[in-house]
Chain A
Amino acid sequence: MSDVADRVKKIVVEHLGVEEDKVAENASFIDDLGADSLDTVELVMAFEEEFGIEIPDDAAETIQTFGDAVKFISEAS
């Protein structure tokens, strides 16, 4: 697993309080990991800080799963 994926997973595990093995490639933050809409905003804020990038609102809306996040951040950073 890439370095980006590891760091994203760590944030998701810490923020949502879920088991690491639940954070699969296609795991949806809201449907599978119990996030509410505010959690998803906070996750995006945490990703921005961890990776020193800016994630615009329209892009943030497309980040629904763990895989989406890793893909977006890998391309952006």
Chain B
Amino acid sequence: MFDLTGKNALVTGASGGIGGDIARALYDAGATVGLSGTRVEPLQALADSLGDRAHVLPCNLSDPEAVEALPKQAVEAMGSVDILVNNAGITRDNLFMRMSDEEWQSVIDVNMTATMKLCKGVIRGMMKARWGRIVNVSSVVAAIGNPGQANYAASKAGMIGFSKALAHEVATRGITVNAVAPGFITTAMTEKLTDEQKKGLLLKVPAGRMGDPQEIAAAVLYLASPEAGYVTGSTLHVNGGMAML
């Protein structure tokens, strides 16, 4: 099950905890992977630990020209992009009353606009191939909000609406577009929380624990697989029950 042999996948944010595990899951299923991110060192280390079918494709998603170039670089390196995982994201948290236009715009640009542009860059090839998988990594806060994250929540909710609209347009071409919405996941970011903060967060999670990045990767792998061909426009919530949607 979930055999991706012969498929080429582009994963953004692969230098982060979740993105790295997504890339590994796709690779282990047989895919060739393009690892994109801002920090070259962790990308190279990941590529080395994976093997020959991993390519390092550094890209700063806040640079519009770099975003435009990335799908082309991925095609040059791998031959095509059959699977696109928009996993990269940034936060610029602040209370809405204090949030600057710049804090708003930078989050919208990277999380939402870069996602849209990368989809645009790969969709032509997918249309021709009559096969494609786009998985956009959203967040539980897209559905339930979070104080201090008006920009982030808007961008992640935007990704879901965008995914649904695109899913409608390309469904007849064998292309699916879905979202995965992680809850609290153990990453470098959440490791910084104090025990007290973690305890408070976990009160909201019926499963009583943080999620593992591999549990997000498994959801992405499913949606990227041939087996998920009849699933499109959906959002797969992976959050230990903190929001049952």
Contact = CB atoms under 8 A, between A and B. Distances in A.
A38 B173 contact: yes
Contacts of A45: 124, 127
Contacts of B124: 45
B170 interface: yes
A61 interface: no
Interface residues of B, number: 6
B198 to A, nearest CB: 47
Nearest to B127: A42
Q: Which bracket fits the contact residues of A?
A: under 10
Interface in B149-170: 169-170
Nearest to B173: A38
B120 to A, nearest CB: 12
Contacts of A42: 127
B172 interface: yes
Contacts of B172: 36, 38
Contacts of A38: 127, 169-170, 172-173
A36 B127 CA distance: 14
Contacts of B173: 38
B71 to A, nearest CB: 15
B91 to A, nearest CB: 35
Contacts of B169: 38
Interface in A9-43: 36, 38, 42
A38 B170 CA distance: 8
Contacts of B127: 38, 42, 45
A42 B125 CA distance: 11
A45 B170 CA distance: 15
B89 to A, nearest CB: 29
Nearest to B124: A45
A58 to B, nearest CB: 18
A39 to B, nearest CB: 9
B131 to A, nearest CB: 15
Interface in A26-75: 36, 38, 42, 45
Nearest to B172: A38
Nearest to B171: A38
A38 B173 CA distance: 9
A45 B169 CA distance: 16
Nearest to A36: B172
A30 to B, nearest CB: 15
Nearest 6 interchain pairs by C-beta: A42-B127, A38-B169, A45-B124, A38-B172, A38-B173, A38-B170
Interface of B: 124, 127, 169-170, 172-173
9 contacts: A36-B172, A38-B127, A38-B169, A38-B170, A38-B172, A38-B173, A42-B127, A45-B124, A45-B127
Given A45-B124, A45-B127, 7 more contacts: A36-B172, A38-B127, A38-B169, A38-B170, A38-B172, A38-B173, A42-B127
